[in-house]
Amino acid sequence: MAQNKIEFLSAKDSEPSNFGWMKGFPPPADKTLSAADGSFFNFPAIRWSVVHMREMLPTQNVSRGLEAPSKLSYDLDKNIDGITFMPWNSKNKMTWEQSLWANYTDGMIIMHKGKVAYERYFSELTEHDVHAVMSLTKSFTGTLASILVAEGTLDENKLVPFYVPELKNSAYGDATVRQVMDMTTALKYSEDYANPKADIWDFSAAGNPLPKPADYKGPNGYYEYLETVKKEGKHGEVFGYKTVNADALGWIISRATNKSVTQLLSEKIWSKIGMEEDAYYQVDGKGIAFAGGGFNAGLRDLARFGELIRNKGMYNGNQIIPAQAVKDIEKGGDKTAFAKSDHPDLKGWSYRNMWWMTENKDGAYAARGVHGQTIYIDPVAEMVIVRMASHPIAANAANDATSLPAYEAVADYLKKKK
Amino acid sequence: MAQNKIEFLSAKDSEPSNFGWMKGFPPPADKTLSAADGSFFNFPAIRWSVVHMREMLPTQNVSRGLEAPSKLSYDLDKNIDGITFMPWNSKNKMTWEQSLWANYTDGMIIMHKGKVAYERYFSELTEHDVHAVMSLTKSFTGTLASILVAEGTLDENKLVPFYVPELKNSAYGDATVRQVMDMTTALKYSEDYANPKADIWDFSAAGNPLPKPADYKGPNGYYEYLETVKKEGKHGEVFGYKTVNADALGWIISRATNKSVTQLLSEKIWSKIGMEEDAYYQVDGKGIAFAGGGFNAGLRDLARFGELIRNKGMYNGNQIIPAQAVKDIEKGGDKTAFAKSDHPDLKGWSYRNMWWMTENKDGAYAARGVHGQTIYIDPVAEMVIVRMASHPIAANAANDATSLPAYEAVADYLKKKK
What is chain A's pLDDT, residue by residue, as a tens digit (418 residues)?
Answer: 344 567 899 999 999 999 999 999 999 999 999 988 888 999 999 999 999 999 999 999 999 999 999 999 999 999 999 999 999 999 999 999 999 999 999 999 999 999 999 999 999 999 999 999 999 999 999 999 999 999 999 999 999 999 999 999 999 999 999 999 999 999 999 998 778 899 999 999 999 999 898 899 999 999 999 999 999 999 999 999 999 999 999 999 999 999 999 999 999 999 999 999 999 999 999 999 999 999 999 999 999 999 999 999 999 999 999 999 999 999 999 999 999 999 999 999 999 999 999 999 999 999 999 999 999 999 999 999 999 999 999 999 999 999 999 999 999 999 999 6
Please give the angle made by the CA atoms of A68, A70 and A72, to the nearest 5 degrees.
140
CA distance B204 to chain A (A): 17
Cα separation, A43 vs A393, in Å, equals 9
Cα separation, A410 vs A83, in Å, equals 7
pLDDT digit string (tens) for B191-247?
Answer: 987 788 999 999 999 999 998 988 999 999 999 999 999 999 999 999 999 999 999
Specify the pairing of strand B279-282 against strand B59-62: antiparallel
Neighbours of A98 (CB within 10 A): 17
B137-151 and B243-257 helices, crossing angle to 10°: 40
Give the mutation candidate from A22, A25, A33, A54 for the B interface (greatest B CB count, under 10 A). Answer: A25
CB contact under 8 A, A26 and B288: yes
* Partner residue opposite A68 with nearest CB, options B55, B68, B288: B68
Query: In the beta sheet, which residues pair with residue A84?
Result: A95
Residues with Cβ within 8 Å of residue B268, at least 6 apart in sequence: B144, B147, B320, B321
Taking CA–CA distances from A278, the nearest residue in chain B reads B278
Give the mutation candidate from B260, B286, B288 for the A interface (greatest A CB count, under 10 A). Answer: B286
Measure CA of the first residue to CA of the last residue in chain B; give whole Å.
Answer: 46
Strand, helix or coil for residue B268 = helix
Do residues A62 and A267 touch, judged by C-beta distance below 8 A? Answer: no
pLDDT recorded at residue A5: 64
Number of residues that this document lists for chain B: 418
pLDDT recorded at residue B223: 98
Neighbours of B176 (CB within 10 A): 20
B243-257 and B199-207 helices, crossing angle to 10°: 40
3-state secondary structure chain A: CCCCCCCCCCCCCCCHHHCCCCCCCCCCHHHCCCCCCCHHHCCCCHHHHCCCHHHCCCEEEECCCCCCCCCCCECCCCCHHHCEECCCCCCCCEEHHHHHHHCCEEEEEEEECCEEEEEEECCCCCCCCCEEEECCHHHHHHHHHHHHHHHCCCCCCCEHHHHCHHHCCCHHHHCEHHHHHCCCCCEECCCCCCCCCCHHHHHHHHHCCCCCCCCCCCCCCHHHHHCCCEECCCCCCCCCCCHHHHHHHHHHHHHHHCCCHHHHHHHHHHCCCCCCCCEEEEECCCCCECCCCCEEECHHHHHHHHHHHHCCCEECCEECCCHHHHHHHHCCCCHHHHHCCCCCCCCCCEEECCEEECCCCCCCEEEEEHHHEEEEEECCCCEEEEEEECCCCCCCHHHHCCCHHHHHHHHHHHHHCC
Do residues A267 and A259 touch, judged by C-beta distance below 8 A? Answer: yes
Across all residues in chain B, what is the average pLDDT? 96
* Partner residue opposite A26 with nearest CB, options B60, B63, B286: B286
Checking if the pLDDT of B286 tops 60, the result is yes
CB contact under 8 A, B25 and A287: no
* Partner residue opposite B221 with nearest CB, options A22, A26, A63: A26
pLDDT recorded at residue A2: 41
Checking if the pLDDT of B266 tops 80, the result is yes
- Alpha-carbon torsion (B144, B149, B152, B154), positive or negative: positive
Do residues A230 and A169 touch, judged by C-beta distance below 8 A? Answer: no
Peptide bond into A28 cis (omega under 30): no
Do residues B155 and B177 touch, judged by C-beta distance below 8 A? Answer: yes
CA distance A31 to chain B (A): 10
* Partner residue opposite A287 with nearest CB, options B55, B65, B254: B55
Cα separation, B281 vs B246, in Å, equals 14
Query: In the beta sheet, which residues pair with residue B110?
Result: B118, B385
Neighbours of A90 (CB within 10 A): 12
pLDDT digit string (tens) for B322-334?
Answer: 999 999 999 999 9
* Partner residue opposite A210 with nearest CB, options B59, B211, B288: B211
CB contact under 8 A, A58 and B60: no
CA nearest to A180, candidates A289, A96, A256: A256
Cα separation, B49 vs B51, in Å, equals 5
Checking if the pLDDT of B49 tops 70, the result is yes
Taking CA–CA distances from A287, the nearest residue in chain B reads B55
- The pair phi, psi for residue A383, each rounded to 5°, is -125, 140
**Chain A residue set in contact with B, beta carbons under 8 Å:** 22, 25-27, 32, 34-36, 54-61, 63, 65-69, 127-128, 210-211, 221, 223-224, 251, 254-255, 260, 276-278, 283, 285-288
Query: In the beta sheet, which residues pair with residue B109?
Result: B119, B386
Query: In the beta sheet, which residues pair with residue A378?
Result: A383
B137-151 and B323-330 helices, crossing angle to 10°: 120
Do residues B50 and B370 touch, judged by C-beta distance below 8 A? Answer: no
Residues with Cβ within 8 Å of residue A4, at least 6 apart in sequence: none
Cα separation, B416 vs B41, in Å, equals 41
The pLDDT confidence band at residue B5, using thresholds 50, 70 and 90, is low
CB contact under 8 A, B66 and A25: no
Peptide bond into A322 cis (omega under 30): no
* Partner residue opposite A61 with nearest CB, options B54, B57, B251: B54
CA distance B212 to chain A (A): 10
- Alpha-helix runs per DSSP H in B261-361: 261-265, 299-310, 323-330, 335-339
CA nearest to B9, candidates B123, B133, B171: B123
CA distance B71 to chain A (A): 10
* The A279-282 sheet, strands edge to edge: A59-62, A279-282, A295-297, A131-134
Which amino acid belongs to residue B404? Answer: L
ipTM at complex level: 0.95
Cα separation, A391 vs A400, in Å, equals 11
**DSSP for residue B358:** -
pLDDT recorded at residue A259: 98
CA distance A54 to chain B (A): 6
Peptide bond into A26 cis (omega under 30): yes
Domains of chain B: 16-62 (no CATH), 102-416 (3.40.710.10)
Size of interface A-B (CB pairs under 8 A): 103
